[in-house]
Amino acid sequence: MSKAHRKPTDPQEIVRRRIARIANEDEIKRLRKQGATVNLDRARQIVSAYRASAFHKLRETKTINTAQAAAAERLCSDWAIWKRLDGKPAPSEVRVMIRSGAPEIVTDRMIAAGDRVACVLAAVGPMDRDLLGCLVAQAIEEDQPLPWRDVVRRVTGVTQTVRQSQMIVAGLENLARAYAAGADRPASTRASVRGLVAL
């Protein structure tokens, strides 16, 4: 049988716990203010905190349908593989490429994923390509990503929240249609990912 939790009697311990509790509450407020989803345990200690991508938020609010959400997940997955951020170790078939004077380790898997990303984004049009590319890059590559509404504002110039969501929905609908049409399969001439590096 576990012991009952006793309140401390030492004044210094009471002050220390109070300071820790206040600091914890301040951290919860700070994370939520930055748009993070904060999961707490029974004692209101932070278990996890993450900032959901625009795609996750729009799926939660049922603003995007299943096909659009699946297209977003597929693009994010290929992007992570392409940038070698998918958490999987590099397989044995490694190539060393020299770009800008610095060697870069690239695998066939990364090249194939980069080709898929380039092909499908080329099929959705320039505005959707820029918007989706920036949203995915922020979600996958950045340690402290900008809030997704700021990304939409920067790329499109749209400031109204409803219109920002509509821009993403339209882009994801075009992406879902491009995937359905097989646009992510490179043609006989391999698509170049060089144009996406600027994203």
CA atoms within 13 A on the CB side of 167: 25
Which residue has tokens 């006989």?
Answer: 188
pLDDT at 57: 82
Nearest C-alpha neighbor of 39 from the set 30, 48, 50: 48
Q: Using a cut of 0.85, tell me whether the model's pTM lies above it.
A: no
Which residues of the chain register pLDDT less than 50?
A: 1, 188-195, 197-199
CB 149 within 8 A of CB 106: no
Domain coordinates in residue numbering, the chain: 11-50, 54-196
Taking every pair of C-alpha atoms in the chain, what is the biggest distance, in angstroms? 76
Model confidence pLDDT, tens digit, residues 15-72: 998 999 999 899 888 877 766 677 888 888 888 776 667 888 889 889 999 999 999 9
